[in-house]
Amino acid sequence: MNLLRKILNIFHKEPQITESQNTMKYLIVGLGNIGDEYVGTRHNIGFCVVDALAQSINATFADKRYGFVAKGRIKNAEVVIVKPSTYMNLSGNAVRYWMQQEKIPLERILIICDDLSLPFGKLRLRPNGSDAGHNGLKHIASTVGSQQYARLKFGIGNDFPRGGQVDFVLGQFTDEDMKTMDERVALATDAIKTFCLAGINTAMNQFNNK
């Protein structure tokens, strides 16, 4: 019997599982400010995008430490989606906590935020970079100690008079913007899914400046 088992073992090999086949966990963070007065504002487009992402994978947000958190799957990728409740200027506290809590490395984090330098709805993925004056990105970099994290920037335009930047980013989108909002947000969620399944380079090639 032992000889038969040895013979069978020779012909039976365990399947080799590559890293790409393993379940990978990603932290997806949409930046914004909590509170009714900020709902629907340009600075909160990160919240809007991750709301759409969570809905598309049937994930539900729950009020947790440092933010509202939803968990789900995008095919073979596990995702932890966070909307920080720290307000924009302290976003790094939520990012660092959920990185540590879920044991997710920096290379599997994606931050979604607004960008004044891009026309409304334009997307730009980057694997790293400076904060470009964005207070949320600035605090994340200082808190995690690195700028080597991916970010998806959603253009909000810059049609404001000199000195009017704060009012603009905290203002509501125009009726013209809203005509294509659903389409642009859906494109952003597709970019996030591609980032999780195929990596930052593929996602950049497919979605940058679309």
Catalytic sites, residue numbers: 43
Cα(187)–Cα(164) distance, rounded to whole angstroms?
Answer: 29
**H helix runs in the chain, sequence order:** 2-11, 45-56, 91-102, 135-144, 165-169, 175-179, 181-198, 200-207
Residue 31, phi then psi, degrees to nearest 5? -90, 150
Residue 145, phi then psi, degrees to nearest 5? 75, 25
Cα(99)–Cα(54) distance, rounded to whole angstroms?
Answer: 19
What are the structure tokens assigned to 54, written together? 């969570």
Nearest to 28 by CA among 150, 202, 209, 122: 150
> Rounded to 5 degrees, what angle do the CA atoms 19, 24, 27 make?
145
Cα(132)–Cα(140) distance, rounded to whole angstroms?
Answer: 13
What are the structure tokens assigned to 5, written together? 């088992």
Q: Hey, what amino acid is at 43?
A: H
